[in-house]
Amino acid sequence: MNFKQFIKKYFPKLFNNSGPMRNYINKKFRSEYIKINIIKEFFEYSPNVTGTISGRSKNTIFSIKNYSPVLNSLIKQPLHQQDIDEITPSNESQLLKELFQKYKSDKATHNYHLVYAKYLNQQKIKNLLEIGLGTNNTEIMSNMSKLGNPGASLFAFRDFLPQSEIWGADIDEKILFQDKNINTLYLDQLDKISIQEFITKFSFKFDVIIDDGFHSIISNINSIFIAKNILVEDGLLIIEDIRLDNLPLLNVAINLVKEDFEAKIYKNPNMAVAVLKKLND
């Protein structure tokens, strides 16, 4: 267990509160300079002007950095936000917390059990899908380290929702499995073809879809696309582990689908969870 995993496991509050510091460390020390041709790689962001290559390259970076702030300035309605800690704990949330801990999912570290217990209505959920099983293959991005227990959260949801069918999807084919009330399938949520194939596999729609997969703005938007296709009316898309800096970009996407989804954001000091309710089918 490394230092970060130790803090996350034994001092979850400290871990959550140290989010801004970890972001600073990631930016400053866990990043690297690579040489790229800015105009070639980001041509659609480059200005259509005469001028020096250096000037046009700098302005291309300016456009990328300002794209989401200027789009947000056009959005009239602010995102509905609330602190996760303001959700009142219940017997259900305590049970779910214990189940996440039992199977070694890190969801309770971030207090996500409070969000899930609030929204997961045990009577109404026939089919729940979670993207991201929790691979322990450290070669795969967004892994749960060597100590991970693939399927941890699926087992917790299965025990919490004994009447429901639990589905999981992951890019790591080696961790796919079947168990009582649990089925898992391959999905690369960054790949449009894989997503299209995935969507066509189901003859029914899900009541809940959870995105705990790659955790990037593109994977999040692709989850909204998946939910547009295979989520029932009044169904929920729950997107986890959104870095607070990504919220403005996600807000733009949420605004584009405002006729299809109603959104609410729950925040802890470090990360956010978006809950999107499907308005129509």
Ligand X SMILES: C[S@@+](CC[C@H](N)C(=O)[O-])C[C@H]1O[C@@H](n2cnc3c(N)ncnc32)[C@H](O)[C@@H]1O
- Least separation in angstroms between residue 53's CB and ligand X is 35
CA dist 218 to 16, 72, 73, 75, 214, Å?
A: 24, 17, 21, 20, 9
Q: Which is nearer to ligand X, 38 or 166 (CB)?
A: 166
Q: What is the contact surface with ligand X in residues (CB under 6 A)? A: 105, 107, 130-135, 140-144, 152-153, 170-172, 187-190, 212-214
Shortest distance (Å) from residue 194 CB to ligand X: 8
Rounded CA-CA distance 172/178 in Å is 15
Residues near 213 by beta carbon (within 8 Å), at least 6 away in sequence: 131, 132, 142, 169, 170, 171, 187, 189, 219, 223
Residue 38 or 120: which CB sits closer to ligand X? 120
Q: Minimum distance between the CB of residue 61 and ligand X, rounded to whole angstroms? A: 26
Are 149 and 118 contacting, i.e. CB atoms less than 8 angstroms apart? no
The residue (of 82 and 138) whose beta carbon lies closer to ligand X is: 138
Bridge partners for 205 per DSSP = none
User: What is the rounded CA–CA span in Å between residue 210 and residue 260?
Assistant: 17
For ligand X, the closer of residues 132 and 235 by Cβ is 132
Smallest gap from Cβ 213 to ligand X, in A, equals 4
- Please choose, from the candidates 180, 115, 175, 126, the residue with its C-alpha nearest in 3D space to the C-alpha of residue 151: 175
CB of 206 to ligand X, least distance (A): 16
The SS3 call for residue 106 is coil
Task: Name the E strands within 46-119.
Answer: 81-83
Looking at the Cβ atoms of 77 and 138, the one nearer to ligand X is 138
